[in-house]
Amino acid sequence: MRILTIDTSAVASAAILDFDPSNPVKTAEVVANFVTEDTRSHAEVLAPGVKSLFGDPITEGPALDAIVVGTGPGPFTGLRSGIAMARTLSFTWGVPLYGMMSLDALAHQVFDSPEYRNGVAVAPLAVRDFVIATDARRKEVYWAKYSAGAQLLDGPHVGPADDIFGVQVFGAGAGLYEEVLTANRCSVYEPFAQAQPTALELGRAAARKITAAGSLEAAGLLDSTPLYLRESDAKVPGPRKRALS
């Protein structure tokens, strides 16, 4: 099974992965990967990035089994550029489209990472429930709580890092608010303190879900509705302001 994944919840990224849903032992093969550090120019860089994944998008695109897009949460404008891209590719190529919470990408990455001591792997990185937190700007984080097995327990939420207590916290949100989190008896693991969700990790997470369920349809993936979590800032105007005073 070959899938294209796109995630623009933080950085602009896209990847193509190949895996066999009937073979849970074999890990997904990364066919092509594009990722940029930039969090502000998704509308420019994403299309050339996606194009670079293909030899010939016109023949290879329609042959994909699915497109999986990260549905956030993430800053709105960037997030939308990935979803607009994914929806339009899905329509044009006639390839089914699924969504996946972007924080799941980091959760599965944490689940896959062993903890090392003196160069020796001593345990899985997350042995208890843990939290993934990313930058929501405006002094807030997007966050969700996962079990040690990377199953979603609670969230996604948006709010101050101060809302999170007594767990290990991973992701760029943890790095940004390390002091607040430490004061709340949370621990922050340095190698994940700048980590952002990417399409590659989203693809690995999707491949694991699809393989565990045995098929794409049974994997319980979401649709492509963006997880904004915040309303627009618009306020219904109050009574008229007076020009004379």
Partner 1 sequence: MSQENPLILGIESSCDETGVGLVRGTELLTNTVSSSMEEHVRFGGVIPEIASRAHLDAFVPTLQQALSDAGVTLEDVDAIAVTSGPGLAGALMVGVSAAKALALATGKPLYAINHLVAHVGVGLLDESIAAMTQGGQLPENLGALLVSGGHTEILRVRSIASDVELLGATIDDAAGEAFDKVARLLGLNYPGGPAIDKLAREGNAKAIRFPRGLTMPKYMGTAEAPGPHRYDFSFSGLKTAVARCVEGYEARGEEVPFADVAASFQEAVLDVITAKAVLACKEQGITTLLLGGGVAANSRLRELAHQRCLAAGITLLVPKFSLCTDNGAMVAALGAQLVMNGVAPSDLAFAPDSSMPVTSISL
Q: How far is the CB of 242 from partner 1 (least distance, A)?
A: 6
User: Applying CB under 8 A, which of residues 81, 102, 196, 211 lies at the interface with partner 1?
Assistant: 81
Q: Note whether 156 binds partner 1 by CB under 8 A.
A: no
Distance CA 95, CA 7 (A): 17
DSSP 52: T
Distance CA 101, CA 54 (A): 25
Q: Note whether 87 binds partner 1 by CB under 8 A.
A: yes
Q: How far is the CB of 47 from partner 1 (least distance, A)?
A: 4
Q: Note whether 119 binds partner 1 by CB under 8 A.
A: no
Distance CA 73, CA 159 (A): 12
Q: Note whether 80 binds partner 1 by CB under 8 A.
A: yes
Q: How far is the CB of 82 from partner 1 (least distance, A)?
A: 8
Site string for partner 1, 209-238 (x = CB under 8 A): -----------------x-x---xxxxxx-
86: nearest Cα among 181, 229, 221, 241:
221
137: nearest Cα among 36, 7, 10:
10
Q: Note whether 186 binds partner 1 by CB under 8 A.
A: no
Q: Note whether 116 binds partner 1 by CB under 8 A.
A: no
- Facing residues of 134 across strands? 142
Distance CA 230, CA 192 (A): 26
The answer to whether 46 and 85 have CB atoms below 8 angstroms apart is yes
Nearer to partner 1 by Cβ, of 190 and 233: the residue is: 233
User: Applying CB under 8 A, which of residues 44, 154, 179, 217 lies at the interface with partner 1?
Assistant: 44
Q: Note whether 40 binds partner 1 by CB under 8 A.
A: no
User: Applying CB under 8 A, which of residues 58, 63, 120, 122 lies at the interface with partner 1?
Assistant: 58
Query: Backbone phi, then psi, for 4, in 5-degree steps?
Result: -100, 130
